[in-house]
Chain A
């Protein structure tokens, strides 16, 4: 069964550094999402992306965050200047028919900011 894959599985970065989290969504999917889960807390929506543009973003997704689909297969989340509070699991998801089909999640990237 096709899967959403995320790399790296664990990223350790110094505060203030830029980080790029990578995702390869399922190939025929059209809608892409990033979520995050701070340790012990709920999974929170960050951003949705369709047709090469952001569909919606949450309050968390401020100017430090950006997303890109550079080559038709990868979907990246960039955090420009990381803060301690950015430490979390970041999940990528995709689906092919928004609202009527489930979103498929990757295994996540654990981001640790030192």
Chain B
């Protein structure tokens, strides 16, 4: 299976702190995407990084990709209470279906 696996499983931080979560996968990929899921809601796309890219930024989000280590990280800077959610990485290969990890649950304390 080439599913991503995130760590940590859960993360609790103070508002204003940075949150970092990691994702590892097993086989070569086409791209890697990060999604957010608020409790009971759908998946909101955050950022897509292609296999030939190493780093991408979007607002307070920074994603890195290391294809040699088959890993990615998502950094959320200056966290806010509204960032409380589960975060999932998902990879695609040439078949384009998304293979999701188990997710990291982030709690931002006010």
Contacts and interface: CB of A to CB of B under 8 A. Distances in A.
Nearest to B42: A107
A93 B44 CA distance: 11
Interface stretch (A14-22, A67-75, A95-103): A95-103
A33 B98 CA distance: 10
B42 A91 contact: yes
Contacts of B96: 31, 48, 55, 98-99
Contacts of A48: 95-97
B49 to A, nearest CB: 11
Contacts of A42: 3, 100-103
Contacts, number: 58
A100 to B, nearest CB: 7
B30 A107 contact: no
A105 B36 CA distance: 11
Contact of A56 (B3, B97, B102): B97
Nearest to A103: B98
B33 A102 contact: yes
A91 B48 contact: no
Contact of B41 (A35, A58, A100, A107): A107
Interface in A26-68: 31, 33, 35, 41-45, 48, 55-56, 58
B67 interface: no
Given A35-B98, A56-B95, A102 B45 contact: yes
Contact of B45 (A6, A35, A99, A103): A103
Given A33-B97, A99-B94, 12 more contacts: A6-B42, A33-B98, A41-B102, A43-B88, A43-B98, A55-B96, A56-B95, A93-B43, A99-B92, A103-B98, A105-B43, A106-B42
Interface of B: 3, 30-31, 33, 35, 41-45, 48, 50, 88, 90, 92, 94-103
